[in-house]
Structure 1
Amino acid sequence: MSTALRERLEALGDAFWLRPAILVFLGLLLGEGAVWAEQSDWARSLLPANWLYAGGEAGARALLGAIATSTIGVAGTVFSITVAALSLASGQMGPRLLRNFVRDPGNQVALGVFLGSFVYALVVLRTVRSVDEGTFVPHLGVTGALVLALFCVATLTWFVHHIASGINVETVIGTVHAELKEAVDRLTLDRPDPAPPGPAPAGQGIAGEEGGYLRALDEEALADWAAERGATLNILVRPGDYIFRGVPVAEVSPPELVEEATEQVRSALSLGDRRAAAQDLEFAVRQLAEVAVRALSPGINDPFTAIAVLDRFGNVLCGMRDRHLPGGVILRDGRAALFHRVADYDGLLDAMFHMIRQNGSGSAAVLLRLMEVLGAVLVVEQAAERRAGLRRHADLCLAAGRQSLGERDAVEDLETRFSALARIS
């Protein structure tokens, strides 16, 4: 899947209205289809006669009106519950995690089911005619409305369970953890990229036209353009960075191609008001870290949530043992066509552990668990440069404990775990 397509699909996932709108449209089509089927001679044989609604015009209108009124009322209740859940999640786990609740298909589909049933009932209701109007009772359509009403009851029961479990912090951590693992699998490689033939040459700067977060970058298209022109591009930003208007985002060599390169680079940048996970490996990392940092705030003081986040980080790092991060160069015919900034292992470790260690420096449980997680990753990680990064964070964890922990026993426990870690490394 191309980078641009993936970024657009992710943007569609942020549109809360999309699935409800599709279900409303399906309700409209289903209502029209039920009326058409009622008017067709063969359609009445689709169901046994005793399964169909057998009442008259007055009963059909009353029943369809009751279904329409109740479903639109419950739709408002579902929306209110969703807003309340968003407010609770924003206060306890961070406003950036609202994205996960907005993108949740369950919340969108539940709202869409009630709105679609409401539209279906209205479409069928408008066709009911009395004797004076030329009697017509859509028995098949009324039966379908009854089925949808029962389905709405089941949907409401499921939705209450879904929203109650969805705001559970362990569920939220598990969801973001799964997103992080998926990002690692998608954005890392089975084998390492070739080493760059040399440093990026100095070139003419290309400034950003607009400000915003870089959501995606089409590196392959830029590398193809540079190869065709015999040029070299050096991209100075990476997905997740905030681009300031007028600040250089790339350099091109030779400088004579700067005008054409400016157009190519700006068209390859996808900017937005928020970061996106399509190419940003640190996006889900920072979401999880925010949950831990908020849990360690004095107002919440929940070290168990921070420990749960550390466990997920350790699991992700152990899973990266045989994975390689992309290199910072794209070759075309053996020549470096594009240099670009990429996430590195030390940067991931910093995003995972710095803020948790700094905010949890007064909690012996958090520092002890951090040291244990680092030790567990060191057991499986064999790359020398990665092991050095893990040892660096172990040193920082020990220094924070010695400075901030008031209990001597807690410091001794931390030093014991550090000694065990040192023996591993």
Structure 2
Amino acid sequence: MNRWRFYWLRLRRELWVRATAYAALGVGAALLAAGGAQWVPDAMAERLGGESVEEILTILASSLLAVATFSVGAMVTAYTAVSQGATPRVAALVTSDGQTQRSLATFVGAFLYAIVAVTAINARYYGEGGRAILFLVSLAVVALVAFRLLAWINRLSSLARVGHMIDLVEDRTRDALQARRRRPYLGGRPGALTSGALILSRATGYIQNVDPDHLQDAAEERDCHVQILAPPGSFVRRGEALARVSLTRCEEAALDDFRSAFAVGGSRSYDQDPRFGLVVLGEIAAKALSPGVNDPGTAVQVVGAGVRLMDEWLEPAAEGQAEPSPCSRLLAPPLAEADLLDDIFGPIARYGAGDVPVTVRLLKALKSLAADPGPMQGPARQMAEDLLARAQGALPIAADLARVRSVGA
């Protein structure tokens, strides 16, 4: 995706950004209430501009601090529970959850609004007209806080559930897979350059985003082609190649221009890296199959999520959904179906081979994926054979092994 859009999305998912925006809105509403005092009718100002608004604001200021503190504590508890019960890679979805952020930001913004408004009232900043406007605004704030509080209570009932986390990861992975299915080569085309100048990374970390449109523009400006060597999700060290351009000599300014299309960070991102979502789902299943947790039902749920995702990946794009390749000068590698299967089903096959229900469910899933001719057929059959071999060594009871073999036959 566009690099500026990627940075904006990453910034917008930070909790402090939304909280700061709501806080600024609350402070602005408290201070600007006096600006419309001249348009308030005298009868309305006399009726609503009394001391009742100060009492409402005092109640808001005294209660919302406790509500905000409790909400942050509940979010931290849910974050810790998800990290321990599922995987730390999915815990970031708790803090980036839109409804959670809106609730916390509303509480903080309303608290600062009440504090600033009470201070301004005591400083005689408002006349009767301003106090009347402040009264109406305070009623709206009370209604908004009540709505967000009820929504927050409803969210708390599912925030730390492993099943809810699986659904969140599945949704994020589905979006990334659909985006990659529309542009299988990141908007470019398949191919490789045999020679040319290398674009080297200046940092060590994961490729979080690649801006194909910027690479296309840079290649058009210099009349060359560019091949992506490190697609999203790859881990690169400082000095390793990010891309190759079909130029024998390339100035440092041009290298920096191509390099700016790659975002390198300390962790992988869900947005442009569909394999990361599959890896996280596989980690959830592996954690559930550990002896300390012993929750095969979660692994079975992950198998179902994996089959749905692979089904949508294999579904032919409807007419009008597949985008043409707008980046004719860009060469990029495709996603391999064998890698997708190993990302999500590999941990289940390795750690669940000794559990009969999990093995049976995974074998059925692999058989269904291998039934349709296509790029998934071969990898699914190979993984099913490997799973049967693992089960043969992990199931000492003949009856259990016979049941698994009957499914894999």
Is this a same-fold pair by TM over 0.5?
yes
Q: Which amino acid aligns with 1:20?
A: A
Q: Which amino acid aligns with 2:347?
A: M
User: Which range moved further: 403-412 or 5-14?
Assistant: 5-14
Alpha-carbon distance change, 183 to 208 in structure 1, aligned in 2, over 3 angstroms: same
The CA distance in 2 between the partners of 1:32 and 1:44, in whole Å, is 21
Secondary structure at 2:273 match in 1:
coil
Alignment map for 1:354-365 (pairs within 5 Å): 354-365=346-357
Alpha-carbon distance change, 277 to 19 in structure 1, aligned in 2, over 3 angstroms: same
Alpha-carbon distance change, 253 to 190 in structure 1, aligned in 2, over 3 angstroms: closer
The CA distance in 1 between the partners of 2:180 and 2:389, in whole Å, is 33
Q: Which amino acid aligns with 2:9?
A: E
Alignment map for 1:102-181 (pairs within 5 Å): 102-128=95-121, 138-181=131-174
The CA distance in 2 between the partners of 1:220 and 1:137, in whole Å, is 51
How far did residue 377 of structure 1 move?
Answer: 2.2
Secondary structure at 2:182 match in 1:
coil
Contact 1:204 1:253 in 2 (8 A): yes
Map of 2:10 onto structure 1: 11
Contact 1:31 1:120 in 2 (8 A): yes
Q: Which amino acid aligns with 1:400?
A: R
- Does 2:404 match 1:404? no
Show CA shifts across 1:263-289 (max 9, x none): 233122111122112221212111211
Secondary structure at 1:255 match in 2:
coil
The CA distance in 1 between the partners of 2:368 and 2:239, in whole Å, is 45
From 377, 380, 384, the equivalent of 1:390 is 380
Alpha-carbon distance change, 402 to 261 in structure 1, aligned in 2, over 3 angstroms: farther
Alpha-carbon distance change, 124 to 222 in structure 1, aligned in 2, over 3 angstroms: closer
Map of 2:359 onto structure 1: 367
Show CA shifts across 1:333-389 (max 9, x none): xxxx4433332211111111111211212211111110111122234x331x32111
Contact 2:184 2:335 in 1 (8 A): no
Secondary structure at 2:388 match in 1:
helix
Show CA shifts across 1:180-206 (max 9, x none): 11112111138999975x653133433
**Amino-acid identity (%):** 24
Q: TM-score, normalised by structure 2?
A: 0.88
Map of 1:350 onto structure 2: 342
Segments of 5+ residues of structure 1 without an aligned counterpart are 420-425
Map of 1:289 onto structure 2: 282
Contact 1:288 1:309 in 2 (8 A): yes
The CA distance in 2 between the partners of 1:124 and 1:238, in whole Å, is 52
The CA distance in 1 between the partners of 2:342 and 2:257, in whole Å, is 33
Map of 1:81 onto structure 2: 74
Alpha-carbon distance change, 43 to 296 in structure 1, aligned in 2, over 3 angstroms: farther
Q: Which amino acid aligns with 1:404?
A: A
The CA distance in 2 between the partners of 1:277 and 1:362, in whole Å, is 31
Contact 2:206 2:264 in 1 (8 A): yes
Alpha-carbon distance change, 410 to 6 in structure 1, aligned in 2, over 3 angstroms: farther
Size of the aligned set, in residue pairs, is 402
How far did residue 134 of structure 1 move?
Answer: 8.5
Alpha-carbon distance change, 268 to 137 in structure 1, aligned in 2, over 3 angstroms: closer
Q: Which amino acid aligns with 1:236?
A: L
Alignment map for 1:25-424 (pairs within 5 Å): 25-37=24-36, 39-42=37-40, 53=48, 56-57=50-51, 59-128=52-121, 138-189=131-182, 196=190, 199-257=192-250, 259=252, 261-323=254-316, 332=328, 337-379=329-371, 381-383=372-374, 385-419=375-409
How far did residue 315 of structure 1 move?
Answer: 0.9
Secondary structure at 2:15 match in 1:
coil
How far did residue 169 of structure 1 move?
Answer: 1.5
* Larger relative contact order (CA 8 Å, sep ≥ 6): 2
Q: Which amino acid aligns with 1:354?
A: G
Contact 2:210 2:261 in 1 (8 A): yes
Q: Which amino acid aligns with 1:375?
A: K
Contact 1:20 1:112 in 2 (8 A): yes
Q: Which amino acid aligns with 1:368?
A: V
Q: What value does the CA root-mean-square deviation take over the aligned residues?
A: 3.1
How far did residue 162 of structure 1 move?
Answer: 0.5
How far did residue 137 of structure 1 move?
Answer: 7.7
Alpha-carbon distance change, 204 to 61 in structure 1, aligned in 2, over 3 angstroms: closer
Show CA shifts across 1:274-328 (max 9, x none): 211222121211121111111111111101001100101001111222347x9xx
Segments of 5+ residues of structure 2 without an aligned counterpart are none
How far did residue 217 of structure 1 move?
Answer: 1.4
Show CA shifts across 1:222-241 (max 9, x none): 24433553434333211111
Alpha-carbon distance change, 308 to 142 in structure 1, aligned in 2, over 3 angstroms: same
How far did residue 147 of structure 1 move?
Answer: 4.3
Map of 1:423 onto structure 2: none
Q: Which amino acid aligns with 1:382?
A: P
Alpha-carbon distance change, 44 to 182 in structure 1, aligned in 2, over 3 angstroms: farther
Map of 1:422 onto structure 2: none
Alpha-carbon distance change, 163 to 43 in structure 1, aligned in 2, over 3 angstroms: farther
Q: Which amino acid aligns with 1:78?
A: S
How far did residue 11 of structure 1 move?
Answer: 0.9
The CA distance in 2 between the partners of 1:206 and 1:134, in whole Å, is 65
Q: Which amino acid aligns with 1:279?
A: Q
